[in-house]
Amino acid sequence: MFIIGVLASGKGSNLQAIINHINSGFLNVKIGVVISDNPDAYALKIARDWHIPSEYIEPGKYKTFLEKNQEKKYVECLKKHGVELVCLAGFMRVIKKEFFNAYRGKIINIHPSLLPSFRGLQAWKQALDYGVRFTGCTVHFVEEEIDTGPIILQAVVPVLDDDTPKSLHQRIQEKEHIIYPLAIKLISENKIFIKGRRVIINEN
Ligand code: GRF
């Protein structure tokens, strides 16, 4: 069975969506472990409720990335649980060297905009403030530079005249909960190939 690891800092709705898609039989993968840098992350509670191994691993002294020794502990924990694909799901830290040494090309992320537009934080608010008519979400491979790796899947969400940051984010998340499990399914079934910056999906 293909084993994934989920890293989450917050409420874990994407984790829940992955679990739902496993329970329905759509996804034939196992979540080996859920790790958080935030001891109060609701994602950890979701993991406990579903009897999925979960760990809080201290991030160390920096705010935006993990201290080198701590990053090593994340990687050791993922390896210990046999994780083959690392899924970032609202993990609020930049991934650094220890991760890339161990899992290069095997780390994916979900971002709440149509990349390359609106990289970084609160991308739904950036889209609203900019005035675009359409935004959405992107599942992509993770590279050193933030929100730049090859794009696996995207979904489009129209921006409505009466949208608030909250309502727009909510509709984007509904799409996230569809395309993130689908991307994991395609990777677990070996249907995804990277060709330069392009990701080719081979359904055969
Ligand atoms: C999502 O909007 C995702 O795009 C971003 O962080 C948020 C995580 O949400 N990377 P949740 O914790 O999965 O509900």
Q: What is the pLDDT of residue 121?
A: 94
Can you name the CATH fold of 110-204?
A: Rossmann fold (3.40.50)
Q: Is 14 in the pocket of ligand 1 (CB under 6 A)?
A: yes
* From 21, 111, 140, 177, active-site residue: 111
Q: What is the pLDDT of residue 140?
A: 98
The residues with which 96 forms a beta bridge, in sequence order, are none
How many angstroms does the Cα of residue 204 sit away from the middle of ligand 1? 31
CA distance 125 to 165: 5
Q: What is the pLDDT of residue 79?
A: 98
Q: Exposed/middle/buried for 119, CB within 10 Å: 0-12, 13-18, 19+?
A: middle
Q: What is the pLDDT of residue 74?
A: 98
Can you name the CATH fold of 1-104?
A: Rossmann fold (3.40.50)
Q: Buried (b) or exposed (e) across 81-112, using 16+ Cβ within 10 A?
A: bebbbbbbbbbbbebeebbbebbeebbbbbbb
What kind and span of H or E run contains 148? Answer: none
pTM, two decimals, is 0.96
What kind and span of H or E run contains 19? Answer: helix 13-23
Q: What is the pLDDT of residue 203?
A: 79
Q: Is 135 in the pocket of ligand 1 (CB under 6 A)?
A: no
- Most ligand 1 atoms within 8 A of CB, residue of 6, 7, 13 to mutate: 13
Q: What is the pLDDT of residue 122?
A: 96
Enumerate the domain spans of the chain. Answer: 1-104, 110-204
The candidate with the shortest Cα–Cα distance to 85, out of 73, 70, 102, is: 102
DSSP 153-169: EEEEEEPPTT--HHHHH
Which of the residues in the chain have pLDDT under 70?
A: none
